[in-house]
């Protein structure tokens, strides 16, 4: 394994009873890289994502974070190794304010005073100052997505895992999300699970395509889009 | 925060000092104060930690038994008081660790805590005979343990805490527990606990060990329930297996639901109101006690689902905000929001 890989998986296999959701997945992400995972429904993207976050323990294989074997460790321990995680459905603390949500994330690794400063910075970077003290449950979906990204940012991660960050966003909100992701990528490597190919094109250089629990191909986004095999399995038509 | 805490402390102190003047039955008032502390212990772990424990009576009983047994074995009842805090706290920590590290969901947690209480109830009932002794203390089975030394004044071991002095001691403990929990909830630990109640997965994904935080909160709740058990042992001067009974466990939950689980004051109010009503109803034979308590629970769940205190709080806050706005004149939207958040 090269020293500069922030994330690497070796032969990760995940079985649910008789169903094999992932089979021998080898994956490697360099520092500061931004990679999108795409594939049709049931391809194994979300299962792979859950293995990376610690929510699932692979049946076989290993996961390395900055060279350290982190297979099967608890999600909170993964997060403490500098991994920021955003789930598909915004996972926020609903009856708390946006400020409190972001503060709790910042406070995990910082003193209360530092966490206050970090929270103010994140709220400003995401233009959330106006709704900082509103209950998150009362916010629109797009704002809730941003609050969750704020939670991720406040942890100052070196690796960010995002599951469908553009899901349910308006065109304007998607543009904002693209800008935020590029900003995140200045300090951290990212793995993004995404369906929306326009969104993928606007953020990623390299794409990993999953199909039937395996990595079908891994290539620059334009090459992947032009690959007949990918078009066949993912877009549902032959080139 | 400091000003609000000082204000709460002053109000609480005034109520607890004035109460004996309005309520001449100091004996009943003392046990209501003890029930208030017991309800507060469940209100903390359920209302702020999201942990519905059906077995708070287990820690209550362990505190009471712990005090009685330690008081018989140690010369100083204050050492016994310390033991009676440590035993339920440790028991709650071990039980909580098994529940939370074992990833038991809410329903199973409720069932396990209920079963633990029943086991203790059955066990204590079957400890008659000389074989069941801890040191010099015979557990006494169904009859329990009578005749142990109760708390005395720290500077005069011949002066027992009884009647007024026991009431004021219980009131002081209740006030300190209330203020302590208020402080804890405004500290990072309390804020994390509330965050976990709101979204356990999110708390984990930002790096908090949810299992550890919940175990600690559960142990604090167990210790407070044990403390109320210790006070109860001092009040009743006898401990019996009835402390572990199902009806005791159910009653604590009813106090919290009626008073309001989302506040610290709610459970205390619930315990005082329903406890007083129970004593009043116990003096007559016209209406069944349990029927009335059950009816109150049904009415509360239907019409005040958040409980008495959380339902009334917005009215007081609105009134206070209006008075402040009248005093302050112009304040921006942002400053109002910040003020609301700070509260």
Higher pLDDT, A163 or B288: A163
For A91, which of B192, B205, B208 is closest by C-beta distance?
B205
Say if CB A46 and CB A194 are below 8 A apart: no
- What average pLDDT does chain B have? 88
Residue A89 lies in a domain: no
Q: Does residue A88 fall inside a structural domain? A: no
Q: Within this chain, do residues A34 and A103 fall inside the same structural domain, yes or no?
A: no
Of the three residues A150, A166, A184, the one that is the final residue of a domain is A150
Extract the tokens encoding B7. Answer: 């204000």
CB A153 within 8 A of CB A119: no
- Domain with A105 in it: 94-150
Whether B198 sits inside 8 A of A95 (CB atoms) is: yes
List of chain A residues whose C-beta atoms are within 8 Å of the C-beta of residue B191? 100, 103-104, 107
In a domain, A31, yes or no: yes
Same domain flag for A171 and A189: yes
Tokens encoding B113: 């805590």
**CB contact (8 A) between residue B201 and residue A87:** yes
- In chain A, pLDDT over 90 holds for what percent of residues? 64
Q: Are residues A143 and A166 in the same domain?
A: no
Is B194 in Cβ contact with A107 (below 8 Å)?
Answer: no
Cross-chain Cβ contact B188/A112 below 8 Å: yes
CB-based contact A108 B198, cutoff 8 Å:
no
End-of-domain residue from the set A105, A127, A150 = A150
Provide the 8-state DSSP code for A135.
B
Lowest mean pLDDT among B26-30, B171-175, B278-282: B278-282
User: Is A221 a member of any domain?
Assistant: yes
Q: Are A112 and A162 contained in the same domain?
A: no
A78 lies in the same domain as A107: no
Task: Calculate mean pLDDT across residues B234-244.
Answer: 95
Q: How confident is the model at residue B133 (pLDDT cuts 50, 70, 90)?
A: very high
Question: Which pLDDT band, with edges at 50, 70 and 90, does A90 fall under?
Answer: confident
Is pLDDT at B334 greater than 50 in this prediction? no
Integer Cα distance of B335 and A202 in angstroms: 39
Calculate how close chain B gets to A239, using CA atoms only, in Å. 41
Residue A61 has pLDDT above 80, yes or no: yes
Greater confidence (B338 vs B232) lies with: B232
Q: CA dist A111 to A34, A115, A124, B180, Å?
A: 30, 6, 20, 22
Do A21 and A135 sit in the same domain of this protein?
A: no
**Whole-angstrom distance, CA of residue A14 vs CA of residue B150:** 61
Specify whether A37 is located in the same domain as A126.
no
Nearest chain A residue to B210 by CA distance is A76
Question: How many beta-carbon pairs under 8 angstroms link A with B?
Answer: 70
Is B141's Cβ below 8 Å from some Cβ in A? no
| The pLDDT of residue A36 | 93
Q: What percentage of chain B reaches a pLDDT higher than 70?
A: 93
* Domain CATH number, residue A229: 3.40.50.300
Is-contact A235 A39, C-beta < 8 A? Answer: no
Least confident of A141-145, B6-10, B242-246: B6-10
Q: Each residue of B136-152: pLDDT tens digit?
A: 999 999 999 998 999 99
**How large a percentage of chain A has pLDDT more than 70?**
96
Is residue B130 predicted with pLDDT exceeding 60? yes
Whether residues A103 and A137 fall in one domain: yes
Distances (CA, A) of A106 to A82, A99, A115, A160: 12, 10, 5, 15
Indicate whether A73 and A102 sit together in one domain.
no
Task: Choose the mutation target among A55, A76, A101, A113 for the interface with B, i.e. most B CBs under 10 Å.
Answer: A76
Best B50, B194, B205, B210 residue to mutate vs chain A (most A CBs within 10 Å): B205
Taking only the tens place, the pLDDT of each residue in B11-39 is 878 888 888 888 778 999 999 999 999 99
pLDDT of residue A236: 63
Residue A162: pLDDT above 50? yes
pLDDT at B169: 94
What's the structural domain count of chain A? 2
Whole-number mean pLDDT of chain A?
Answer: 90
Same domain, A146 and A163: no
Confidence of residue A63 (pLDDT cuts 50, 70, 90): very high
pLDDT at residue B333, as a whole number = 46
Position A205 confidence tier, pLDDT thresholds 50, 70, 90: confident
Contacts of A132 in chain B (CB under 8 A): 337
Domains of chain B by range and CATH? 2-272 (1.10.3470), 309-343 (no CATH)
CA distance B339 to B321: 10
The answer to whether B340 faces chain A, any CB pair under 8 Å, is yes
* Residue B121 burial (10 A CB sphere; 0-12, 13-18, 19+): buried
Across A124-131, average pLDDT: 92
- Among candidate residues A109, A134, A150, the one where a domain is terminated: A150
pLDDT in tens, B63-108: 999 999 999 999 889 999 999 999 999 999 999 999 999 988 788 9
d(CA B265, CA B219): 20
Scanning every residue of chain B, which has its alpha carbon at the shortest distance from the alpha carbon of A149? B206
pLDDT(B201) > 60: yes
Structure tokens at B61: 């009983």
Average pLDDT over residues A71-82: 94
Q: Would an 8 Å CB–CB cutoff place B205 in contact with chain A?
A: yes
Q: Is residue A104 domain-shared with residue A20, that is, in the same domain? A: no
Same domain membership, residue A34 and residue A134: no
> Is residue A87 included in any domain, yes or no?
no
For every residue of B46-87, DSSP letters joined together read IIIT----TTHHHHHHHHHHHHHHHHHHSS-HHHHHHHHHHH
Does A43 fall in a domain? yes
- Any B CB within 8 A of A109 CB: yes
* Cα(A144)–Cα(A142) distance, integer angstroms: 5
């Amino acid at each position: 394994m090269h020293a500069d890989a922030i994330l690497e998986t070796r032969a990760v296999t995940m079985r649910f009873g008789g169903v094999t959701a992932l089979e021998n997945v080898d994956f490697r992400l360099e520092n500061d890289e931004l990679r999108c995972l795409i594939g049709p429904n049931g391809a194994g993207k979300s299962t792979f994502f859950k293995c990376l976050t610690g929510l699932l323990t692979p049946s076989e294989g290993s996961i390395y974070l900055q060279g350290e074997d982190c297979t099967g460790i608890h999600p909170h321990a993964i997060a403490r190794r500098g991994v920021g995680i955003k789930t598909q459905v915004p996972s926020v603390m609903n009856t708390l304010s946006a400020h409190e949500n972001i503060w709790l994330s910042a406070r995990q690794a910082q003193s209360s005073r530092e966490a206050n400063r970090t929270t103010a910075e994140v709220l400003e970077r995401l233009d959330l100052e106006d709704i900082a003290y509103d209950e998150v449950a009362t916010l629109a979906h797009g704002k809730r997505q941003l609050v969750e990204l704020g939670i991720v940012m406040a942890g100052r991660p070196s690796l960010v895992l995002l599951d469908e960050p553009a899901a349910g966003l308006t065109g304007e909100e998607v543009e904002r999300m693209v800008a935020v992701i590029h900003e995140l990528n200045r300090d951290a490597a990212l793995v993004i699970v995404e369906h929306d190919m326009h969104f993928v094109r606007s953020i990623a250089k390299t794409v990993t395509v999953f199909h039937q629990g395996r990595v079908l191909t891994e290539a620059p986004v334009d090459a992947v889009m032009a690959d007949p095999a990918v078009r066949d399995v993912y877009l549902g038509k032959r080139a | 925060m400091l000003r609000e805490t000082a204000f709460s402390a002053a109000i609480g102190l005034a109520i607890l000092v004035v109460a004996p003047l309005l309520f001449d039955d100091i004996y009943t008032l003392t046990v209501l104060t003890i029930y208030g502390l017991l309800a507060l212990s469940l209100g903390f772990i359920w209302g702020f930690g999201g942990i519905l424990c059906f077995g708070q009576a287990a820690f209550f009983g362990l505190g009471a038994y712990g005090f009685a047994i330690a008081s018989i074995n140690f010369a100083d009842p204050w050492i016994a008081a310390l033991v009676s805090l440590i035993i339920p706290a440790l028991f709650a920590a071990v039980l909580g660790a098994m529940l939370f590290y074992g990833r038991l969901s809410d329903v199973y947690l409720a069932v396990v805590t209920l079963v633990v209480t029943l086991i203790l109830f059955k066990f204590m009932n079957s400890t008659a005979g000389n074989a069941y002794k801890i040191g010099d203390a015979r557990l006494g089975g169904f009859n329990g343990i009578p005749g142990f030394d109760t708390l005395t004044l720290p500077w005069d071991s011949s002066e027992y805490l009884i009647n007024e002095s026991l009431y004021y001691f219980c009131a002081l403990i209740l006030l300190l527990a209330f203020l302590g929990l208020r402080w804890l909830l405004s500290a990072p630990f309390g804020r994390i606990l509330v965050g976990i109640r709101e979204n356990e997965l999110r708390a984990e994904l930002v790096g908090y060990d949810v299992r550890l935080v919940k175990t600690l909160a559960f142990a604090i709740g167990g210790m407070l329930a044990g403390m109320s058990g210790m006070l109860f042992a001092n009040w009743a001067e006898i401990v019996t297996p009835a402390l572990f009974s199902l009806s005791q466990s159910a009653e604590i939950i009813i106090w919290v639901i009626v008073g309001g689980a989302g506040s610290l004051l709610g459970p205390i109010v619930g315990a005082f109101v329903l406890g007083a009503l129970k004593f009043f109803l116990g003096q007559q034979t016209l209406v069944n006690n349990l029927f009335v308590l059950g009816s109150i629970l049904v009415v509360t769940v239907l019409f005040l689902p958040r409980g008495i205190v959380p339902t009334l709080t917005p009215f007081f806050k609105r009134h206070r905000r209006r008075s402040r706005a009248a005093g302050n004149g112009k304040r921006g939207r942002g400053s109002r929001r910040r003020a609301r958040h700070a509260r």
